[in-house]
Structure formats: structure tokens, C-alpha cells
Structure 1
Amino acid sequence: MPSPAEGRLETRRLIATAGAAPSMHNTQPWRFSVYGDETVRLRADLDRRLTVADPRDRCLHISCGAALLNLRLALRVAGYDPVTWLLPRTEESEMKVPLLAVVRPARSIPPSGEERRLYDAIAARHTNRRPFSGCIVPRPIMHELVRAARSEGTDLIIVDTRISDTFLQQIGMADTRLHADGDYRAELARWTTDVPRTDGIPPDHLGPGGGTGTLNRDFGQLPASDTRWETRPQLAVLTTWDDHPLDWLRAGQALQRVLLVATLYGVSASFLNQPLDLRDMRGRTDPRHHRAHPQMIIRFGYGPAVLGTPRRPVSDILETA
């Protein structure tokens, strides 16, 4: 049986691993608490909401779902089965900041080799906003990404190259409309300053600026005229059966599993979610298209090595229960 000190170190390791998840503009909108029975509770940090770009809190839930997947993997590597309840109905769920998930570790069989590899990939996974090489990700690897999404109850739909040009035009138009909104630009600027901090996106992580043919979000940086983006970008859309907080949490777990599998294969990824952000800002939900609701638009390829964005210390995201 571990000593109290060892237990505290293990708890901090688990929470640090969970906090390495991706989040919109690297807001890291999660808080964890650990109770005496070692049950972990996950809540949203509402002070980190993107009230303009994410008024429905869809991306907030997806971000917290990604952190939850990391936590689950960390528990598996520690030899536990992470028994998980999403949006549990308890007295605490009536609080101002409701519970998003409760995870109770139960002693289990040792982790599989795949689980260990996915856990190791958490530290290596970084969003890559740089131009990719243009080399095509082989179909078997893309099929592995689809399988990863399905294992979490979602679908990853590969965008047909025959319609990718039209799709990219829609992304570009959405980006232009977003950037025309002064409140949107102001919110974006709050999370992309060059002041040293433990959250947000530092300028050297933004990638080349916006402009015609860009495959990056317009963060307000100057366009790089000599930038050569890949001519055949590989895009995929992560979808869910419905469009509610429970689905968003599942989408976040699926997203992180997809990204970790991609990392294992040396595949880079970034996000082109501008059409979804514009939809959310207009207060709309999509009607069902082939029983699917788009939650994330992901660009895959082979990019240069990039560093990870800064992370909040464990003391900021772990509450004392």
C-alpha cells in the first residue's frame, strides 16, 4: 500500500497527464478534485469560457472530454480500470458548476501494450499549425484513426478529395466572417498575447498568418507571403449521433484518442473548426445529415517538429476536496 506521500505524487501525475490535453486556444478549461476514496471529479473552469466563440460551451466540453481520455489512460497504465460516469446525476450536479464526469479507479489487469503506447504519446502530441510536407497519409493509417474514433462512440469521416476544395472555401469564408467580428477578435487576442503565461497560444506557436489558400486560423498575425501549404490537404470531420453535452464529452475523448493514434504513426494534426465556431456564434445547431453532427474538423499530414504549448501547473487545476 503506497504511503500518503506516494499517493499525493501519484495523484499529481494523473492530473498533470490529464491537463496535457488539447483545448480551443489552449484555454485548458478544466478542474479536478480527488476524494478520499480516490474518486476523481471533473468540472469545467467557467472562468475560462470563450463566451464569444463558444457560446454553447461545445468546445469547452470537447476540451474536458480530451482531458478525461488522458486521465483514463493514466489510470490504466497505473493498473486501474477507470470506471467512468459522464454527467452523473448527483446532488453536486445541481451546483453552479455541474459535474462533467466522475472516475472511480478499480484494480484491474495490467495495461496492454497499446494502452502504454497511447499513454506515452500524450507528451509527444502537439497541435501543428505549420505547412505539411504534402506526403499523403496512407489509407491504412487513416483507417486506424477511424477505428480510434469509433471505439469512443463517434465517427471520423474522411473528406473526399473531390470535394475538399469546396470544403476549404467554406472554411475560408467562415474564417473571414469570424474575423470581421470585433468581439471575436478581442477574445482571440486575449489568448494569443506574447506575455509569458501558462495558457493561451504563444506567437511562435501560431504558424503562418492568414491569407488566400491558408490552412490555418487567422489569429491576426501577418500573412507569410512565401508560405507553401500542401496542395492536397487531408481533412476529416469528427461526428456524433446527437449534439448535446454528453455527445460533446464523447467527442472530446474520441478526438484525443484519434490524435494520440496519429502521434504514434508520426502524423501531425491541426484544426480548421471555423465553420463550426461560426455556427455556434449564430446560435444554431445543425440538422442531422446522415445521422451525424460535425464536432471537429481536423487536418492531417506530415509536419515539421513543433513544441508544445504551455501548461497550467497542477496546483491550478487540482482542487482540494
Structure 2
Amino acid sequence: MSPFATELALHRLLAAAGQAPSVLNTQPWRLDAVRGECAELLADPDRRLRVSDPRGRSLHVSCGAALFNLRLAVRTAGHRPLVRLLPDTAEEPLLLAAVRVSPYGPASVRTRELYECIGLRRTNREPFSGRRVPEHVLSELRRAAACEGAGLVMLGRRASADLLEHVAIASDELAGDGGYQAELRAWTMRASRCEGLPSYVQGPGCADDPAPVRDFGTHGGRGPVHFEPRPQLAVLTTAGDGPADWLRAGQALQRVLLTATVHGISASFLNQPLDLRDMRRRSDPRHRCGHIQMIIRLGYGPAVPRAPRRPAVELKETAAA
């Protein structure tokens, strides 16, 4: 039986997709089942960040992460997901992916591990320990990105320091942009139970300069505190820089994050330079390995709460509206 054929099976897919990471926890996706045979992943334009994401890049990356979770849910149900990205951009510009299935065998042990980590993964904005992520784990994270057609480039000490300075410069410029700050406040100051970034997931204030963590301005009275002295940074890259590449980047990001979760590795993001690049429509400072789509901080962090999520049924109801 198709995993889209019953309400219970579809709810399982919605629950998995809905736990993906997204920019400012906007959760900008919808999911619809078509005649019980196909699942369609659609962008939710009401959740697009129009100031900081004019190209829709961050929206596509977020929806790509949800698509990867959907693929895992389909695969662990004993089917093979057959994904078509951007199947009809002219007629249905909000349709990002169509997923059909074919019967397949049981999922591999690693696939099941990744699926089981969907609900365990967190964005961790707390200080990490000084313990370095070992090379064999970093190699596995690089392979995870490569499986989805992306690259994960680990930065050395000097490159990491230079990137943190670049992040600080971008943050200062964005602090003076009224529209950007208003949009940021809209998703970090609200008291919603199911979206945005409440203070309890924002981490403490940072006493270090430059900071290896993004400051959203509300810390629940915590901080400032010192973070790890040598942050381990990585950039996620794609060969191209269009909507299909962004969707691939999101799938690669989620495979990397879930693989990291399997190994007890935490992650957070420092994407201010990418926001600024998108907003100013500046040329991409292309890395030798491709276009940078995410800036990731990796390490060993404490347990943290999960950001709120919309109820799974709301995702389907929105799609049917």
C-alpha cells in the first residue's frame, strides 16, 4: 500500500517533514497527497522572508530539508522515494517537488538511524566544549553531503577566524537595516507555540568577539558567557546557485545534520553573510568548491530544547486550502 494512501500513513510523513530545520523556524512548506499516489511539497509564500530572502534561497533550502525527512519516512515504510524537483515551474511555481514511490526492501540500518534522529536533532546555540570533532566523523559528514550532490568544506583555523570576522562585519551592516531587523523581530519576539525562535532556543549572550553564534537579541536574561575558543566551522556548497541547487543543498544539509546527530554532534548556523549577499544581490564570493549555501558551526554541545513546531495536521490543511 502506498504511504500516501491513508490518513494515518500521511500523518507520519507530515510529522517527519515538519520537524526539519528552517530559516528562523518559519517552516515554509506545505504537503499534499494527490489521489493517494503522490506527495507534493509546496512552498508556503506566507512564510517567506521577503526582506532577507528576496531570491527565495533560504526558503528552498528549508524545504529541501523537509523533503529529505519525507524521503526518509517513505524509505523506512518499505518504499523507494522517486523524487522530481521543480516538476512544473511555469504552471505551478509553488510546487517544489513531487514524490512518487515504488515498493522496495527494508531500509538499511543507517537509514533507520537517520530517521530515528529526526526528532532528536536540534539547532544548538549554546557554548560547545573544547573537544574537537574527530576526522573520521568529519569524513562521514562530507560523504553525507556528497550523497546529495553538495560539498561540505571544513575550514582550518585561519579560514575559520577570517570567516568569523566576515560574519561580524555582516552582522554590523544588518543591524543598521530597519527592514531586516523588523523581520527578524517578527520571528524571534513572538509568543507563538508553533513557530519562530522563542528566547529559550536562542542561547545565552556571547562575551567573545567575534562571536561564533548568532545573537537574536533575547536570551532570557542569560549571558554573556564565553564560547569555545576554536569553533569548528564548515561551509555547505553547491555547484550551481539556482532553485534546484538550493533544494539539493537543503537535502544535503539535513543528511549532514542527522548524521551528526547519530554521532552526538551539535550544530548551529552563521548565515548573516549569506543573508546580506541575497539582500544586496551581490555577486557570490565563490568558494573553489562551489557556491556557499550554509555556514555551519559543529561541536559537542549540551542538551537543548527543540524549537516549536506546527501540528502535522496543519501542514496538510494548509495545502488543501
Kept in 1, the 8 Å contact 2:44–2:94? The answer is: no
Equivalence map 1:80-119=2 (5 Å): 80-89=79-88, 93-95=89-91, 97-119=93-115
The one-letter amino acid paired with 1:94 is: A
Q: CA deviation at 1:98?
A: 2.8
Equivalence map 1:238-249=2 (5 Å): 238-249=236-247
- Root-mean-square deviation (CA, aligned residues, Å) is 2.0
Q: What is the aligned counterpart of 1:137 among 133, 149, 168? A: 133
Which residue does 2:210 correspond to in 1? 213
Question: Under a length normalisation based on structure 1, what TM-score does the superposition of the two structures give?
Answer: 0.94
1:224 to 1:307, Cα distance in 2 relative to 1, 3 A: closer
Kept in 2, the 8 Å contact 1:198–1:311? The answer is: yes
Kept in 1, the 8 Å contact 2:145–2:255? The answer is: yes
Q: How far apart are the structure 2 equivalents of 1:2 and 1:65?
A: 22
Q: Taking every aligned residue pair, what percent have the same amino acid on both sides? A: 53
Matched, 1:176 2:172: yes
The one-letter amino acid paired with 1:135 is: R
1:293 to 1:111, Cα distance in 2 relative to 1, 3 A: same
Secondary structure at the residue paired with 1:163?
A: helix
Q: How far apart are the structure 2 equivalents of 1:188 and 1:152?
A: 30
Q: How far apart are the structure 2 equivalents of 1:18 and 1:242?
A: 25
Kept in 1, the 8 Å contact 2:125–2:202? The answer is: yes
Which residue does 2:56 correspond to in 1? 57
Q: CA deviation at 1:105?
A: 1.4
Q: How far apart are the structure 2 equivalents of 1:96 and 1:152?
A: 25
Secondary structure at the residue paired with 1:251?
A: helix
Number of aligned residues:
317
Q: How far apart are the structure 1 equivalents of 2:196 and 2:18?
A: 14
Q: How far apart are the structure 2 equivalents of 1:146 and 1:2?
A: 33
CA displacement 1:137-174 (0-9 Å, x = unmatched): 11110110000000000000001113221111111111
Which residue does 1:162 correspond to in 2? 158
Kept in 2, the 8 Å contact 1:209–1:219? The answer is: no
Q: CA deviation at 1:176?
A: 1.3
Which residue does 1:317 correspond to in 2? 315
Q: How far apart are the structure 2 equivalents of 1:95 and 1:59?
A: 22
Matched, 1:196 2:195: no
Q: How far apart are the structure 2 equivalents of 1:233 and 1:220?
A: 21
Secondary structure at the residue paired with 2:99?
A: strand
Q: How far apart are the structure 2 equivalents of 1:167 and 1:235?
A: 9
Question: Can you give the 5+ residue segments of structure 2 that lack an aligned partner in the other structure?
Answer: none
Kept in 2, the 8 Å contact 1:243–1:285? The answer is: no
Question: Can you give the 5+ residue segments of structure 1 that lack an aligned partner in the other structure?
Answer: none
1:226 to 1:313, Cα distance in 2 relative to 1, 3 A: closer
The one-letter amino acid paired with 2:232 is: Q
The one-letter amino acid paired with 1:286 is: D
